[in-house]
Structure 1
């Protein structure tokens, strides 16, 4: 990689150019596990028309008059259960993914940073930082395997919004959805297989739990449901081809229902209870739609899910880790990023 510094008047700071950057992007997280921070985060998140597809004049009074006065305390309690010395697990893991990728790409002169669609660090600030470091070409990488307007599209929208403020814009490429990418599926197979083999019990069922969306998004043309189902089908085929898991029953569910609308089904929480009542005693849960563990996996699945399953009669329960910054996860990320940087490095 060739970096250049333009000749400028003596009193002007140097301008670097000619570089390549990668910006990893995830959903976001509050700055702290307390109600004020969660309220700020939810205000931004739930004000996004890509997330809440209700007319603003109808939604905003509900959001500001009810939800932001009730939900922050409950959500802060959930965040508090999983908060670490490094802060939010999602932020800490995404930071580790960026650092690991930077090491792997250092020999090619590629700079790597990370941002959050909601909260900090913002997409606009990280794009500006990469530009200031001379990155005229940037791979914008939303870490969402399955495309959804409420995740992938809104992240790209935010990047475009930032570009509109720049006189000198970088050239952007966007990492495509990778729900059926063999790199992703093989990484999941290896990582989940290793975790399943290490469990102190043999699960009867493996739930593949994806984040839910209102059912209307499917009818409006969002491919998310189809992407999730395809990931589950291809991953199940890989696991069943492994003699260790040939007889493992694998089910697909959707979690994190919110509000009165009908959501994608079957629901994870309802399925956990139904399985236990039907006699399933040993169950494992994986969340292949999440690139990093977060409150939805560490609290909703690992804590609340266990309570639901055991209360309904289940005995052995485990939630498997996401790929995170594991060896398999980082090898997959490096290979996908290098493919998308073809011609730039």
Structure 2
């Protein structure tokens, strides 16, 4: 930039940004940290689509007076006390560190890899701002959701676009499509199942996905279909008979009907039917989090055992497993075509 005049604002050398987005996490387990996080999460119109005038008094006056205490207690059971952060934050950092290493090997310092959270910190806006200041005139945005849903992929993209609106010099942008049916992603899932089960076929493998109101499906959200296809492709890749894998949905909130069957009810019913040995996997989560470490291994496991279940095996998320990093690196490379 030697041709610039002395009083011209500093211009960084051009780079390409790869921004990884995860759901989010509270900064701590105390009441106010939990309240800030839950307020941001539950105020998202993509998550709760009730009219603001109707929903906000209920949220701010009733739900957030009690829920931060119970949610904080749940987080305390899984909190990474050594790093003073949630497991989701720890795992996301590990994933990004691995992707930075891969990017450095493939593309040198031309590509900058960073991460953000849809809710909580680091915010999407702060991450975009960091990238722009570092010279990124192109940004690839990758939400860590294999299956598309309005309440996950779309709201992450929304926040990314809002962050771009704040930039004076707006970078070119791309978003990554859902990857629920990619062969390499299915291979990575299958590998995790085979390692966890030692090659044996369980009586039942319950594929538990995060839930959503059934109404969203009827409005055109493809999430339910993506989940069903992931489960089918996983079963076919493992070479198992039909009926071994059941697709269920967890984390129900509110009174309206959500996608069924509900995981907590389904595992109890399996136990009552005499199926006392099951395994559970969570293909919708790229990183272990409160929904897997506390809900599945706590509430859902307890429901199964209380109904007579004997052996409950939880298969961890792909996290920073090398096969998962391979998949994400390939996806990134494909989406950088024409940019690098």
Out of 83, 86, 89, the residue aligned to residue 87 of structure 2 is 89
d(CA) in 2 for partners of 1:327, 1:79: 27
CA deviations on 1:160-196 (whole Å, 9 max, x unpaired) are 1111111101111101111111121111111221112
Out of 255, 264, 284, the residue aligned to residue 269 of structure 1 is 264
Equivalent position of 1:166 in the other structure: 167
d(CA) in 2 for partners of 1:129, 1:7: 25
| In the alignment, structure 1 residue 61 sits paired with structure 2 residue 64 | no
- The answer to whether the 8 A contact 2:235-2:241 is kept is no
Equivalent position of 2:176 in the other structure: 175
d(CA) in 1 for partners of 2:66, 2:151: 23
- The answer to whether the 8 A contact 2:31-2:68 is kept is yes
Out of 307, 317, 328, the residue aligned to residue 333 of structure 1 is 328
Equivalent position of 2:153 in the other structure: 152
Matched residue SS, 1:172: strand
CA deviations on 1:296-332 (whole Å, 9 max, x unpaired) are 0000001222211111111111111100001111111
Equivalent position of 2:10 in the other structure: 14
**For the structure 1 residues 21 and 315, does the alpha-carbon distance in structure 2 shift closer, same or farther, using more than 3 Å as the test?**
same
- Cα deviation, residue 252, structure 1: 0.6
Matched residue SS, 1:17: coil
**For the structure 1 residues 174 and 6, does the alpha-carbon distance in structure 2 shift closer, same or farther, using more than 3 Å as the test?**
farther
- The answer to whether the 8 A contact 1:205-1:250 is kept is yes
| In the alignment, structure 1 residue 280 sits paired with structure 2 residue 275 | yes
Matched residue SS, 2:169: coil
Equivalent position of 1:113 in the other structure: 114
- Cα deviation, residue 14, structure 1: 3.2
- The answer to whether the 8 A contact 2:192-2:315 is kept is no
- The answer to whether the 8 A contact 1:283-1:317 is kept is yes
**How many residue pairs were aligned?**
335
Superposition pairs for residues 186-225 of structure 1, below 5 Å? 186-197=187-198, 203-225=202-224
Matched residue SS, 1:16: coil
- The answer to whether the 8 A contact 1:139-1:340 is kept is yes
Equivalent position of 1:100 in the other structure: 98
- State the TM-score, normalized to the length of structure 1: 0.93
d(CA) in 1 for partners of 2:291, 2:272: 24
- Cα deviation, residue 58, structure 1: 0.5
d(CA) in 2 for partners of 1:14, 1:325: 37
Equivalent position of 1:30 in the other structure: 26
**For the structure 1 residues 6 and 162, does the alpha-carbon distance in structure 2 shift closer, same or farther, using more than 3 Å as the test?**
farther
d(CA) in 2 for partners of 1:247, 1:165: 50
Matched residue SS, 1:144: coil
Out of 335, 339, 343, the residue aligned to residue 338 of structure 2 is 343
Q: Which moved more, 1:100-109 or 1:290-299?
A: 100-109
CA deviations on 1:223-270 (whole Å, 9 max, x unpaired) are 11111111111111111x2xxx55881111000001101000000000
- State the TM-score, normalized to the length of structure 2: 0.95
Equivalent position of 1:133 in the other structure: 134
CA deviations on 1:130-176 (whole Å, 9 max, x unpaired) are 11111111110001111111111111111111111111011111011
